[in-house]
Structures are given as C-alpha cells and as structure tokens.
C-alpha cells in the first residue's frame, strides 16, 4: 500500500462512510423501541442506551426534514466538510504538522504480512496526497457532468 492507496481508504472509510451514515440517519432514523419491549436486566440496560440514541436520531431527522431544500443541501455540505477536515487534521498530525514536534511513520501490513511504509521520511506528505486525490476526484466528477 502506498500513500495514495492509504488516502483512498481514508476517503472511503473515514470520510464518505461516516458522512453517508449520518445522512442516512437524518433521512431514515431508526424506530424507537418502547422500553417495555426490553425484558431482562441486560436487555434493559442496553435498551435504555438504544432508546435514547433512537430518540436523538428521530429529533434530528424531524429538524432536517423541516428544512427547505437549500437548508438540507447546506447541512450536507457542512457534514462533508467536517468529515474531510477531521481526516486532513489527522493526516497533519501524522505528517508532524501542528502541536506535536515530530512525525509518525505509518506502516501498512497486508494479509500476507508484507510491510510497507506509507509515508516514508522523504516522501510526499499525506495531507498533500489527500488534496491531490480530492482534486482528481473533483475533476473526474466535473468531467462526468459534461
């Protein structure tokens, strides 16, 4: 795995997946299960947490559905931007940019046990690779719109 492949995994699993999960919750919240449905003590303790989570999702979904189309689009953009900013900030930490004085070496180990340094010392910084991959994706998306 090289830096580009690592960034593609980050994009897919740490940005797109959480963003899509939150959007799904806003569009189709899980139904609230009545507390009476939980019978055992273990079920009740888990049920309280699940019930509270479902109520939060339902409240957010009602709010989201009450927005006009422009408001919903704005929220989607904010969620996407937040996910991307979180990933880039984490990549900055790995690159040694920020409050930590130093950097990290990220080693990928595949299923066969082969190890590869994803961010070699004299290689391109991960956050730069991220921006390159994003720019390519944006160009591909805009070319597909033609």
d(CA 146, CA 85): 29
Report pTM: 0.76
What's the DSSP call for residue 31? P
**What is residue 35's predicted lDDT score, i.e. its pLDDT?**
66
Over residues 99-123, the pLDDT tens digits come to 888 778 999 998 999 999 999 888 8
d(CA 107, CA 116): 5
**What is residue 109's predicted lDDT score, i.e. its pLDDT?**
92
**What is residue 70's predicted lDDT score, i.e. its pLDDT?**
97
**pLDDT-flagged residues of the chain (< 70):** 33-35, 37-38, 42-44, 144-146
**What is residue 58's predicted lDDT score, i.e. its pLDDT?**
92
Q: Is 67 helix (H, G, I), strand (E, B) or coil?
A: coil
d(CA 50, CA 17): 21
**What is residue 50's predicted lDDT score, i.e. its pLDDT?**
77
Task: Find the helix or strand (DSSP H, E) in which 7 lies.
Answer: helix 3-9
Whether 33 contacts 47, CB under 8 Å: yes
**What is residue 14's predicted lDDT score, i.e. its pLDDT?**
93
d(CA 22, CA 76): 9
**What is residue 141's predicted lDDT score, i.e. its pLDDT?**
82
Neighbour-count burial of 66, counting CB atoms closer than 10 A to its CB (0-12 exposed, 13-18 middle, 19+ buried): exposed
**What is residue 145's predicted lDDT score, i.e. its pLDDT?**
58
């Amino acid at each position: 795995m090289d830096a580009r492949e690592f960034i593609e995994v980050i994009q897919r699993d740490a940005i797109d997946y959480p963003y899509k999960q939150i959007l799904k919750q806003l569009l189709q919240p899980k139904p609230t299960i009545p507390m009476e449905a939980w019978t055992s003590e273990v079920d009740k303790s888990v049920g309280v947490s699940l019930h509270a989570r479902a109520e939060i999702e339902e409240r957010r979904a009602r709010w989201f559905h009450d927005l006009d189309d422009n408001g919903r689009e704005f929220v989607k953009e904010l969620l996407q931007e937040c996910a991307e900013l979180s990933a880039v900030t984490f990549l900055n930490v790995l690159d040694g940019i920020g409050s930590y004085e130093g950097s990290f070496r990220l080693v990928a180990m595949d299923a066969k046990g082969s190890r590869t340094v994803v961010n070699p010392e004299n290689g391109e910084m991960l956050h730069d690779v991220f921006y390159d991959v994003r720019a390519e994706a944006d160009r591909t998306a805009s070319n597909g719109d033609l």
